[in-house]
Structure 1
Amino acid sequence: MSWQHIDLIKVKDVGPRDGLQMEKAFIPTEEKIKLINALSKSGVSAIQVTSVVHPKAVPQLVDAEIVMKNIERQSNVKYSVLVPNERGAERAVPMQADEWELMHSVTEAHCRANSNKSVDESLKEHEKVVKIARQNNITVQGGMATALGCPFEGRVSFERVLYTAEAYYSMGIRHIGVADTIGCADPKLVYTTMKQLIDKFPDVEFSLHLHNTRGMALANILAGINAGVFNYDASIGGLGGCPYAPGATGNIATEDLVHMLDLMDLHSGVNLNELLSISKDVERLVGHELESAIHRAGPSYQLHAAPDAQVKLDH
């Protein structure tokens, strides 16, 4: 594929919600706000700020209203909130998010584990959310978890993915995110799935949400670009996971993604140096090593001083 025709790869950082929700220790509210403000100035096109999930389910996000009220919004950044159900939608209205994100598992087993609902029951609930969003002039992104692999059902048929995509389309949704929730996808699967979706829904803007559990995320992103997907979720430092996916680790690190795009002259508008500075603060904040390769090793073009002489070894 020729890359010259690609004007922009949009990068959404989901660390403040998808990443921090997996942290066991509570992150102070002021630190979350500080992180979001820093990401807002890094050049990312969007930030998934928080979720209105029940506080008992995800205690880390109990401060959703305070965070949304106090962040410093930038005009060139879209701020989204994950909205799981009708009650969450009512709670989300005053937050004035630019977009609500739905998350629905395309497989029955994961849908039951994640929402305690069947696939059809979950989609019916999302119809209520979309109705409230329309009443308040808020755009909605449909999300499809386990679309590229399920920890309970294995490889997912395209028919299951299409079922949810068609349901979202019938609700009037024209932005749909496709997730490799457990990081088990391969480039061939990503390419064929996304190519088929784009062919069937040419007026829908698709995005990919890829976990790096098995080190395949960057390869899968290239497959997605080849298929015509130019919107990607990533998480600062590679934070994240899924509480209902055994063994799942974090999302592709935002800095790893931007580093690759920079090397390939694919414009994202994101400043890698800013991200690396933020990731240092994030590591101190969460108190453990990050998954990000570029955070650990630095950019591939970073040079080091050569030694004056070869070290002599004693035999």
Structure 2
Amino acid sequence: MKLIECPRDAMQGLPHFVPTDLKIRYLNELLRVGFDTLDFGSFVSPSAVPQLRDTADVLAGLNLANTPTKLLAIVANVRGASEAAAFPAIRYLGFPLSVSETFQQRNTNKSIAQAFDEVNAIQRLCAEAGKEFVVYLSMGFGNPYGDPYSPELVATFSERLHKLGVRIIAPSDTVGSSTPEAIEALFEPLIRSFPDVEFGAHLHSRPGDVADKVRAAVRAGVRRIDGALRGFGGCPMANDELVGNLPTEEIIQVLSQDGLAPSINQEAFQKAMTLSAGVF
């Protein structure tokens, strides 16, 4: 099971700016834990996400010498992707492609058609730069705007991405609207239909629903799950009540109970948990 830790997603909506040196200390502790991937920052307009305006400086302070963890940075356009791709330490570039037209405009100031053009260009850039491309399908379990939604729509988006060469796709529950039944109904046919695609689950959840959502994803065949320590986060672009990420500590507990827990450094994990209280 691949655990993706998402401090970037957790921090982006904070009203106070987390000092760069504190970000670096927190991320360096997370790098010691043994996560598969760390979603550590983004190369987007500082006016859009001021909290992450120091991503390049943060990257310069990370200790990558003895970690198995790979770095992922979020980008919103080709310019940001080019900037991120210039850093050898970054393995993955992530792009938020929404199945909701309203949210695509709110999140990236583009239509879905324009966003697909960006995806095509970034996929080519990643191939040339030796990076891996992760596309997050935002509002992947419905939206609060009344825009069209169905699991078949997510499958159509996935098919288009597959034809472009994208091999990591993460349907994302941006506002916490998913249910265990919906998670299984979405992922099971996707994984069956596109066996050469790695489908990840980026889920948000209210307290009490985490275990059922994790187990539903696992039953559907998902082997890549995103989380954030203490369940911090939520999407500030959604104009909806923020619903936090799946708490990483609860994901680990559920997977441990079911015999699927990844190997992690427990000492580093506890230190990161302590540091997270100061960050958030």
The match for 2:185 is 192
**Is this contact kept in 2: 1:211–1:252, CA < 8 A?**
yes
The match for 1:91 is 83
* 1:121 CA drift (Å): 1.3
**Is this contact kept in 2: 1:183–1:214, CA < 8 A?**
no
Aligned equivalents of 1:214, 1:107: Cα separation in 2: 26
Answering whether residue 255 of structure 2 is matched by residue 261 of structure 1, we say yes
The match for 1:81 is 73
Aligned equivalents of 2:228, 2:116: Cα separation in 1: 27
* 1:272 CA drift (Å): 4.8
RMSD of aligned residue pairs (Cα, Å): 1.6
Aligned equivalents of 1:215, 1:108: Cα separation in 2: 31
Answering whether residue 30 of structure 2 is matched by residue 36 of structure 1, we say no
**Is this contact kept in 2: 1:191–1:224, CA < 8 A?**
yes
TM-score in terms of structure 1 length? 0.84
Aligned equivalents of 2:267, 2:205: Cα separation in 1: 22
In structure 2, which of residues 226, 232, 235 is the aligned counterpart of residue 233 of structure 1? 226
* 1:191 CA drift (Å): 0.3
Answering whether residue 154 of structure 2 is matched by residue 182 of structure 1, we say no
* Unaligned runs of at least 5 residues, structure 1: 1-8, 287-315
* Cα distance change on mapping 1:208 and 1:285 into 2, 3 Å: same
Instruction: Specify the code of the residue in structure 1 equivalent to 2:270.
Output: L
1:58-107 deviation line (CA, Å, top 9, x unaligned): 11111111112221114411111111101111211222211111111111
1:125-181 deviation line (CA, Å, top 9, x unaligned): 111111221221111111111011212137820222022211211111111111111
Aligned equivalents of 1:118, 1:59: Cα separation in 2: 23
* Unaligned runs of at least 5 residues, structure 2: none
In structure 2, which of residues 6, 11, 15 is the aligned counterpart of residue 14 of structure 1? 6
Aligned equivalents of 1:196, 1:155: Cα separation in 2: 20
In structure 2, which of residues 198, 202, 205 is the aligned counterpart of residue 209 of structure 1? 202
1:283-315 deviation line (CA, Å, top 9, x unaligned): 1232xxxxxxxxxxxxxxxxxxxxxxxxxxxxx
Aligned equivalents of 1:285, 1:26: Cα separation in 2: 10
Aligned equivalents of 2:81, 2:123: Cα separation in 1: 9
The match for 1:65 is 56
In structure 2, which of residues 96, 114, 119 is the aligned counterpart of residue 103 of structure 1? 96
* 1:21 CA drift (Å): 0.7
* 1:265 CA drift (Å): 2.3
Which range is displaced more, 136-145 or 266-275? 266-275
Aligned equivalents of 1:193, 1:238: Cα separation in 2: 23
TM-score in terms of structure 2 length? 0.94
Runs of 4+ residues over 3 Å off in structure 1: 271-274
Aligned equivalents of 2:147, 2:78: Cα separation in 1: 30
* 1:195 CA drift (Å): 0.6
* Alignment: residue pair count: 277
Q: Helix, strand or coil for the counterpart of 2:190? A: helix
- Identity level (%): 29
Instruction: Specify the code of the residue in structure 2 equivalent to 1:141.
Output: V
Aligned equivalents of 2:114, 2:152: Cα separation in 1: 18
Higher Cα Rg, which structure:
1
The match for 1:275 is 269
In structure 1, which of residues 137, 143, 161 is the aligned counterpart of residue 154 of structure 2? 161
Instruction: Specify the code of the residue in structure 2 equivalent to 1:61.
Output: L
Instruction: Specify the code of the residue in structure 1 equivalent to 2:241.
Output: G
